[in-house]
Amino acid sequence: SYRKGGYHAVRIGDPFSGGRYIAQRKLGWGQFSTVWLAYDTLTSSYVALKIQKSAQQFAQAALHEIEFLSAAADGDVANTKCVVRLIDHFKHAGPNGQHLCMVLEFLGDSLLRLIRYNRYKGLKLDKVREICRCILTGLDYLHRELGMIHSDLKPENILLSSTIDPAKDPVRSGLTPILEKPEGNANGGGGASAMNLIEKKLKRRAKRAVAKISERRVSMYGAVGEEEASSKSERCLDGIDMRCKVVDFGNACWADKQFAEEIQTRQYRAPEVILKSGYSFSVDMWSFGCTAFELVTGDMLFAPKEGNGYGEDEDHLALMMELLGKMPRKIAIGGAKSKDYFDRHGDLKRIRRLKYWPLDRLLVDKYKIPEAEAKELAEFLSPILEFAPEKRPTAQQCLEHPWMNVVSTQKSNADNVESQMNNLHIKG
C-alpha cells in the first residue's frame, strides 16, 4: 500500500506543514490512513497526525471527515463534549502523491485495548458508568446540538483521554520530543542500513519508555502490547479517572442528509439497518448499548456468524431475538430486506428454533453479576436495545437514568476521606 495513491511513508523526525509538526512514532492505522504521534513545535504539545492515502477517493473521504470534525469543533469551543478535537489540517506532498492530513488532539488507548488489557473480564461497574457518561455526553452533543449521526460507534472508536499532559510531564508520560531527524535518517546520510538501525533503536527506546508507565497504570498512550497485557496476572484500574472521547468521523452523516444504506460495524449494527427500514440517531444508541454490555462483560453482545443454510444477517437477527424476545411483526416485515429473512408471520425463514435467554438472566447466570446489580443494569440497557427505534431513549434521557446516577461506594468513600480531611483542616 506504500505506492502511488497509497500510504505516505513516514520516518521519525519527518517535518510536516512547513516544519510545524515533527513525526515521533506510529500510533495506529486504518484502511485509509496511518496515524502518527507528532510534536507541534508551535504550541509545544503532542498531537495525533492522521495521514490519508493520496488517491482521489481517499482524499474525498478525508474531506468528508474534516467536514464533520470541523462542525464538532466549532460547536464545542471549550472542548468538553467528549469528541476528539480537530486542531488543523493541510496537504502534504510525498512521492506517492498529495496526502490530506488531519491534526487531532492526542488521545490514548481505545476501549477495545482497555477491554483486552483487562483480559476480557469486563470492567467494574463504576468504571463502566464513568465511560458511559463520556460516550453519552458525546452522543448527546452530536445528536441534539449538531444533528449528526456517528454511525460507527464501537469500543475501537472510543479513545481514553489522559489527565496527564505529556508535554508538561515527560517523566510520567515517558515521552520526550524528538525535534530533529536522527543522524543518518536524512537522504544520503548514513545509508539505508544505518538509517534503519537508528530508527529501530529510537522505536525501541520509545516503546521501553511507555512500557514503564503502563506497569504502574493503564497506559493512556497506546503502549500496552497484547503480549504484555496477557502475561500480567491482575489488572487494577482503581483510582484511575476514566475519561474518553469519540473518534473516527469517517462514516458520520447528517440526520437529514444520509449517504449510505449500510452503516455501522457488523456487531454494533442496529436491526433497522439490517432490514433497511431507514434509520436515525437511535442507531448510535443501539451501538452504545452493545458497547456498554461489552465493557461490563468483556464479550461482544452479538457476534453473528454465517451458518449452514443461513447468512450472517439472519444469524444476527436470531441472536437479537434470543436476547430480546420476538421482534414485533410490524417491524420484522417492514424493511426493504425483510422478505429475505422473515416470513409473513414475522418468523425467521431459516432459523426456526430460538433459545430465549433474557439480558438480566444472562448477566447473572453467565457473567455472575449479583442479582440486584444485574437487574438495575438490565433496566438501563433493555430500553436502549428496543427493536422499535423510536422507543429507544435519547442520549440525554440515558444520562438522566437512575443507573447512570448511582453514587458509587468507592466514590462515597473518597468523599468521606475528603470531608474528614476538611474537618482536620478546620480543626487545625
SS3 242: coil
Q: Which is nearer to ligand ATP, 290 or 318 (CB)?
A: 290
Write down the least CB distance from residue 24 to ligand ATP, Å: 12
Q: Which one of Mg ion, ligand ATP, none is in contact with 155 (Cβ closer than 5 to 8 A by kind)?
A: none
Q: Is 109 in the site for Mg ion (CB under 5 A)?
A: no
Provide the β-strand partners of residue 21: 16, 40
**Residue 32 C-beta: closest distance to ligand ATP, Å:** 3
Q: Are 72 and 148 in contact (CB under 8 A)?
A: yes
Per annotation, catalytic residue among 14, 40, 109, 152: 152
Q: Give the binding-site size for ligand ATP (rule: CB under 6 A).
A: 22
Output 40 or 152, the one with its CB closest to Mg ion.
152
| C-alpha pair distances (Å), 190 with each of 148, 183, 194, 209, 273 | 50, 7, 6, 26, 55
407: closest CA among 123, 80, 130, 136?
Answer: 130
Pairing of strands 21-29, 158-160: unpaired
Residue 72 binding ligand ATP, by CB under 6 A: no
The answer to whether 40 is a known catalytic residue is: no
**What is the distance between the alpha carbons of residues 16 and 12, in angstroms, rounded to a whole number?**
11
**CA–CA gap between residue 136 and residue 145 (Å, rounded):** 13
Tell me if 32 contacts ligand ATP by CB under 6 A: yes
Q: Interface mask (CB under 6 A) for ligand ATP, residues 152-181, using x and -? A: ----xx-x----------------------
* C-alpha grid cell, residue 94: 510525498
- Asked if 313 interacts with ligand ATP (CB under 6 A), we say no
By C-beta, is 174 or 389 nearer to ligand ATP?
174
How far is it, in rounded angstroms, from Cα 284 to Cα 164?
Answer: 30
Q: Which stretch binds ligand ATP (CB under 6 A): 27-35, 122-130, 169-177, 370-378?
A: 27-35
Taking residues 146 to 185 in sequence order and writing x for each that binds Mg ion by CB under 5 A, - otherwise, the string is: -----------x----------------------------
Among 248, 272, 284, 294, binds Mg ion (CB under 5 A): 248
Question: Is the Cα torsion angle 105, 106, 108, 112 positive or negative in sign?
Answer: positive
* Binding of residue 380 to ligand ATP (CB under 6 A): no
CA distance linking residue 350 with residue 341, whole number of Å? 8
Q: Are the beta carbons of 183 and 190 closer than 8 angstroms?
A: yes
CA distance 385 to 48: 34
Residue stretches of the annotated binding site? 50
Q: Considering the complex, state which of residue 53 and residue 133 has its C-beta at the smaller distance from ligand ATP.
A: 53
Q: Decide: is 33 part of the binding site for ligand ATP (CB under 6 A).
A: yes
Please give the Cα distance from 283 to 263 (Å, whole number): 9
What is d(CA 90, CA 77) in angstroms, rounded to the nearest whole number? 21
Q: Tell me: does residue 40 bind ligand ATP (CB under 6 A).
A: no
Binding residues for ligand ATP (CB under 6 A) = 27-28, 30-33, 35, 48, 50, 84, 104-107, 110, 156-157, 159, 222, 247-248, 250
The catalytic residue positions are 152
Binding residues for Mg ion (CB under 5 A) = 157, 248, 250
